[in-house]
Structure 1
Amino acid sequence: IGHLPDKIILEIFKYLRLADLCRFATVCRKWRTLAYDSRLWSRVSLRPEYNGLHVTNQDAVISVINYRSGSSLRYIELSADFITPVVLHELANKCNNLKYLTLDFSNAMQLHDFNDMNSFPCNLRTLTICLSEVIFMEGFMRKVYQHLSSLEVLHLIGTFELGDEEQEEIYEVINIGKIKAQTPNLKVINLYGISFVDDTHIEMLSSNCIHLDTLALNFCLRVKGSALKTLIQRCKKLKTLLLQHCGLEDQHMMAVEWQVSKIRELDLTSTELSNDCLMDVLIRIPGFTFLGLGYCEFFDDQILETMVEAGKLDHIRAIDISHTVNLSENAIHRFIMRKGRQIEGLMIVGKPKLAEQFFLNVIPLMKKMKIIVCGTPNGWFLRMGTRIHIDQIIIALSQHCSKLERLEVQWDPDTIRASDNSSKFIDQLRLKCPQLRCVTLSDGEYYEMVKSNFERADRKTVVRTTTNYSTSLVPLLSCYKDLLFN
């Protein structure tokens, strides 16, 4: 390997984690020089819990910024311990090409003193702030506001997953109103799981962000929808609206002038909208490329048929109709027979009557399929009366869905029926779907068989378990890369 040109070794090193590069730097002087080449340090994460570097002190962070990354740095994640005036000053003065910055305050108990901070990176395209439940950010943000005019993507990540339902007081730990006044160029706003966000904040954002084309409010329970009418009127470019598990109310949704909007991607998963409201809203929106309706219990055959007849799904690419109890299997079958050839993503979980024969009938129609989530997870009320011959479904996918990237099968080991030839069919799937990046299965004997098959082919990270992973259709959103965080 010592005879390889430096540029070849650098190309190899690009595939390694930064922690590995630090170890390789101890091999010899040549490898040290190559491992610390600034081109390999353009993306730096200093959050060890997210597979980042474990750094013990501020001086080490300064060393990384000055001597390894420098002007090549484009992306950096900082944990609360290293969000200090000194570090931010170095980033502002030494890293002119920094475009993506993540500030993680989620586990912090108190902030550093920012009274003396007089500089902050000012050419950012994307800013991600992971909020704390108890730390008020105003003292820090007061020094930051004037540097945010270049922002196009803003992520504010709340503590929904760590929250306590019995918590009495909810604190507004960051002033969204002041942020919007300084960010006229925002195109993508993602407010994820923030307990204090409500419709007043959405109205404030709509007043200044006229270029907004994507708004994600997933798991913001206090958003009722009263500001959506103003949002649609002011933000004429808005095409993606993600409202998963919001507290939406019928009267507010029906008051919006959806017919004049440019909404093409809509997620209403886990909302409690009525049948009349869903019919009113979905029929007035001009058309969909992405539609999430998982756990919408009032979405039924009539709404789906009306949407198809009205041409609202003529350009649909991805649809989630999981756990829609009032949507019949026959309606789903008719829909896929008509639109299956254009669908790239389908979630169809929680339908116990959709068994082996259904999938054998529809899979040949879905040539463009990239993501599919199917099956029925454990539960006495959804338990199937027959066992699923999983081999037949796997071989059908390998024969007809060569573009498949993600597959999740939620049937449990008591429902799945495999055979002695299962490994041969898994071979076919692995070979004929070269873009397959993730297979998620329920724990059990079949999972272990598939996992060992892919590991023997040196694809160790492909097969995962539903205990730790879940698949969604979000990679098919037009703004997916801008919505990624953590």
Structure 2
Amino acid sequence: MDISTDVWGQLALEASQVYLTEGGQVRSPFASTTIEKLPDKVLLNIFSYLTHREICRMATVCRRWRMVAYDTKLWTHVSLRPEISGLHVSSLESLLALISIRFGPSLRYIELPIELITHTVLHELAAKCPNLTHMLLDFSTAMQLHDFSEMQAFPTKLRYLCICLSEVIFMEGFMRKIYNFINGLEILHLIGTYEKVEEEEEEIYEVINVHKLKSATPNLRVINLYGINFVDDSHIDAFSSNCIQLECLAVNFCNKVTGSTMKTLFQRSRRLTCLLMNGCSLRSDYVMQVEWEKSSVQELDLTATDLSTECLIDMLTRIPNLRFLSAGQINGFNDSVLKAWVEAGTARNLVALDVDSSDNLSDEALHRFLSRHGSQLHGLVLGGMPHITDQLWQSVLQLLNNANDGRYYEIVKANFERADRTTVVRTSTNCRVSNYYLLSNYNDLIFN
């Protein structure tokens, strides 16, 4: 039953009731209660839970609802990308009117598709939205850029900038125009068009000049270079040479990154606590050159890399304060790694562990590790491991005080069909989960 529908049904029934009293018939006190009687502030609060598409529909109900729906407080975070649950704007003139009338000083966050990224729109945002701090510019489907030769203004208070890159459009003409306006950026996302396919490699274009970009953004704390096929170790070196405030660097699915500049990265970026390198082509010899014991790193993602057992042991036994580790799909991650890690005592601060699809880890090794450190974990991922038995789960669940609520838990797909306990979540869909929500910079890393 739809609970919300049931509640409204009960209210409607109650409103229609007539009660008999000594003085005669009395109508229900709810008889005259309708949504029209609600104050504007209450309506505004209700509307705040709706999407902008739904708010626009509410605006067609009546004049009063239209006034509430167009309150600027409801338009602080706006996406204009209809393919990602955003609003569809039919023309540039409509958008310019929205910026001036509806968004104004209340606007904090906006997402623009390629057809709406023009110098006129950016000028208007700079002039009418002085509190705009977060912006996403989606060039991913671009075959041609608009003319930015006349662009003289750009929002100057941006803290967060996300640029979705095109594979074939060079961005330098646009970037040259905004370099002088983005030196206050703290969070930068460059999103590539990574697709994992086994086809003949096509020609790769460096569509954005990272070396020039780093000179314009000295205050970056968080850098996310996601799935960019031209990014390599020289680009990491470039950012580390200029961004002394760097706390988090993510280069997930940048498969040209080998780790050759990782040692220099940690020597320069003393504040770097989070390094995410899922799907990179890391070389063990480069990783072992890093002075891990002197680093501040606390969060590591090494998923789907080819690091050796020797390298993993060397690294994990030398990092003193690791709290987050994602190391699934690594053949070298085996029982000896867990054993050495426990013996070194460097897993004492661990709160999240992901060893998804680690075929070389045994029940016994996992049990020993979790018996020692399970009570401190807030997140544990052991998916894609059909050799893990129910017996292990039964024994370790009692140890996962912070990760288990006592009623539900997730086990590998192989066990779903034969599970008969009411405490097991059953599903026929094999999906992967992540501990990323436990990262210190999780909110800064979100894009799209």
TM-score by structure 1 length? Answer: 0.82
Q: Structure 2: how far apart are the matches of 1:363 and 1:408? A: 11
Partner of 2:194: 160
| Residue-by-residue CA offset, 1:301-353 (whole Å, 9 max, x unaligned) | 22212212222110111001122222221010111111111101111123223
Residue 326 (structure 1) aligned to one of 355, 360, 368: 360
CA displacement at 1:400 relative to structure 2: 6.0
Query: Quick check: 107-116 or 353-362, which moved more?
Result: 353-362
Q: Structure 1: how far apart are the matches of 2:432 and 2:365? A: 26
Q: Structure 1: how far apart are the matches of 2:154 and 2:247? A: 27
Q: Contact 1:99–1:126 at 8 Å: present in 2 too?
A: yes
CA displacement at 1:259 relative to structure 2: 1.4
Partner of 2:437: 475
Residue 411 (structure 1) aligned to one of 413, 422, 426: 413
Q: Structure 2: how far apart are the matches of 1:114 and 1:189? A: 26
Partner of 1:63: 97
What is the SS of the residue equivalent to 2:201?
coil
What is the SS of the residue equivalent to 2:135?
strand
1:173 is the counterpart of 2:207 = yes
Q: Contact 2:362–2:388 at 8 Å: present in 1 too?
A: no
What is the SS of the residue equivalent to 2:36?
coil
What is the SS of the residue equivalent to 2:79?
strand
Partner of 1:98: 132
Partner of 1:50: 84
Residue 73 (structure 1) aligned to one of 77, 101, 107: 107
Q: Which amino acid aligns with 1:399?
A: G
1:357 is the counterpart of 2:391 = yes
Q: Which amino acid aligns with 2:434?
A: S
CA displacement at 1:442 relative to structure 2: 4.2
Q: Structure 2: how far apart are the matches of 1:334 and 1:90? A: 61
Q: Structure 2: how far apart are the matches of 1:164 and 1:43? A: 39
Partner of 1:287: 321
1:186 is the counterpart of 2:220 = yes
| Residue-by-residue CA offset, 1:142-173 (whole Å, 9 max, x unaligned) | 10111111100000000003777423311000
Q: Which amino acid aligns with 1:55?
A: V
| Residue-by-residue CA offset, 1:446-482 (whole Å, 9 max, x unaligned) | xxxxxxxxxxxxxxxxxxx44xx53211001111000
What is the SS of the residue equivalent to 1:106?
coil
Q: Contact 1:367–1:400 at 8 Å: present in 2 too?
A: no
What is the SS of the residue equivalent to 2:353?
strand
What is the SS of the residue equivalent to 1:142?
helix
Partner of 1:3: 37
Show the 5 A alignment for 1:235-384.
235-369=269-403
TM-score by structure 2 length? Answer: 0.89
Which runs of at least 4 in structure 1 moved beyond 3 Å after TM superposition? 162-165, 407-410
Q: Which amino acid aligns with 1:474?
A: Y
Partner of 2:146: 112
Q: Structure 2: how far apart are the matches of 1:46 and 1:92? A: 17
What is the SS of the residue equivalent to 2:195?
helix
Q: Structure 2: how far apart are the matches of 1:27 and 1:255? A: 66
Q: Structure 2: how far apart are the matches of 1:300 and 1:28? A: 65
| Residues 1:289 and 1:90: Cα distance change in structure 2 (over 3 Å) | same
What is the SS of the residue equivalent to 1:211?
coil
Q: Structure 2: how far apart are the matches of 1:148 and 1:123? A: 8
Q: Structure 1: how far apart are the matches of 2:223 and 2:402? A: 30
Aligned length: 414
Q: Contact 1:363–1:400 at 8 Å: present in 2 too?
A: no
Q: Structure 2: how far apart are the matches of 1:165 and 1:249? A: 23
What is the SS of the residue equivalent to 1:417?
coil
Q: Which amino acid aligns with 1:417?
A: R
Q: Contact 2:363–2:392 at 8 Å: present in 1 too?
A: no
| Residues 1:314 and 1:470: Cα distance change in structure 2 (over 3 Å) | same
What is the SS of the residue equivalent to 1:353?
coil
Show the 5 A alignment for 1:10-21.
10-21=44-55
Which runs of 5 or more residues in structure 1 are unaligned? 370-396, 402-406, 430-438, 444-464
Q: Contact 1:366–1:400 at 8 Å: present in 2 too?
A: no
Q: What is the percentage of aligned positions where both structures have the same residue? A: 52
Q: Structure 2: how far apart are the matches of 1:368 and 1:415? A: 23
What is the SS of the residue equivalent to 2:121?
helix
Q: Which has the larger radius of gyration?
A: 2
What is the SS of the residue equivalent to 2:387?
coil
CA displacement at 1:123 relative to structure 2: 0.5
| Residue-by-residue CA offset, 1:412-455 (whole Å, 9 max, x unaligned) | 5x951355xx7xx37xx9xxxxxxxxx8x643xxxxxxxxxxxx
Query: Quick check: 105-114 or 272-281, which moved more?
Result: 272-281
Q: Structure 1: how far apart are the matches of 2:163 and 2:136? A: 6
CA displacement at 1:410 relative to structure 2: 4.4
Residue 399 (structure 1) aligned to one of 392, 401, 406: 406
RMSD between aligned residues: 1.8
1:201 is the counterpart of 2:235 = yes
Q: Structure 2: how far apart are the matches of 1:222 and 1:181? A: 22
What is the SS of the residue equivalent to 1:143?
helix
| Residues 1:28 and 1:400: Cα distance change in structure 2 (over 3 Å) | closer
Query: Quick check: 42-51 or 319-328, which moved more?
Result: 319-328
Q: Structure 1: how far apart are the matches of 2:196 and 2:333? A: 31
Q: Structure 2: how far apart are the matches of 1:259 and 1:336? A: 24
Q: Contact 2:134–2:159 at 8 Å: present in 1 too?
A: yes
Q: Which amino acid aligns with 2:417?
A: I
What is the SS of the residue equivalent to 1:478?
coil
CA displacement at 1:69 relative to structure 2: 1.2
What is the SS of the residue equivalent to 1:102?
strand
Q: Which amino acid aligns with 1:411?
A: K
Q: Which amino acid aligns with 2:442?
A: Y
Q: Contact 1:39–1:72 at 8 Å: present in 2 too?
A: yes
Which runs of 5 or more residues in structure 2 are unaligned? 1-34
Q: Structure 1: how far apart are the matches of 2:411 and 2:117? A: 42
Q: Contact 1:364–1:400 at 8 Å: present in 2 too?
A: no
CA displacement at 1:279 relative to structure 2: 1.5
Residue 183 (structure 2) aligned to one of 125, 142, 149: 149
What is the SS of the residue equivalent to 2:280?
coil
